[in-house]
Amino acid sequence: MITISGLTELQRDIADRLWAMDTTAEINDYIHSLPRSLKREAWVVQQMIIAAELDQVMEVEDATEDLIRDIGG
């Protein structure tokens, strides 16, 4: 399991739920089932999980980190 520092309680709850899911379809269904006010929050947490996982798997260069930040909006 990965650790992401600085998440709010809500973001940690979303991250735990996303992490427990096995498929992209489950993740997409979960995010789409959320109220509009939480969809973007869940999408951002999903992107943070992906970035943290990639960071663990390979050394990420500065240009790649910049790209990931740009994607996050």
Q: Which long-range contacts (CB under 8 A, 24 or more apart) does 41-44 make?
A: 41/10, 41/11, 41/14, 42/14, 42/18, 44/11, 44/72, 44/73
Residue spans per domain, the chain? 9-71
Confidence (pLDDT) at 68: 77
pLDDT in tens, 3-62: 788 889 999 999 999 999 999 999 999 999 999 999 999 999 999 988 888 777 666 577
Q: Which of 57, 5, 32 is nearest to 15 (CA)?
A: 5
Confidence (pLDDT) at 63: 77
Confidence (pLDDT) at 5: 81
Please tell me the pTM assigned to this model.
0.70
Confidence (pLDDT) at 59: 64
